Amino acid sequence: MFQRFTEERGAVLYCDSQALLLKDRYSRTLKHTRIGNRLICVRVEVYKSKCLECGRYSSTRLPGVLPRRRATENFRLRIYLYAAGTATQLSI
Q: Please write the tens of the pLDDT for every residue from 18-60.
A: 788 888 888 889 998 888 888 889 898 888 888 888 888 888 8
- 3-class secondary structure, 85: coil
How does residue 11 score in pLDDT terms, banded at 50, 70 and 90? low
CA dihedral 77, 30, 69, 80 (to 10 degrees): 20
Given this model, what pLDDT does residue 58 score? 82
Every domain of the chain and the residues it spans: 2-84
Locate all alpha helices (DSSP H) within the chain, ordered by sequence. Answer: 73-84
Given this model, what pLDDT does residue 13 score? 67
Q: Tell whether the torsion through CA atoms of 68, 64, 5 and 23 is positive or negative.
A: negative
pTM, full prediction: 0.65
Q: Tell whether the torsion through CA atoms of 48, 56, 61 and 16 is positive or negative.
A: negative
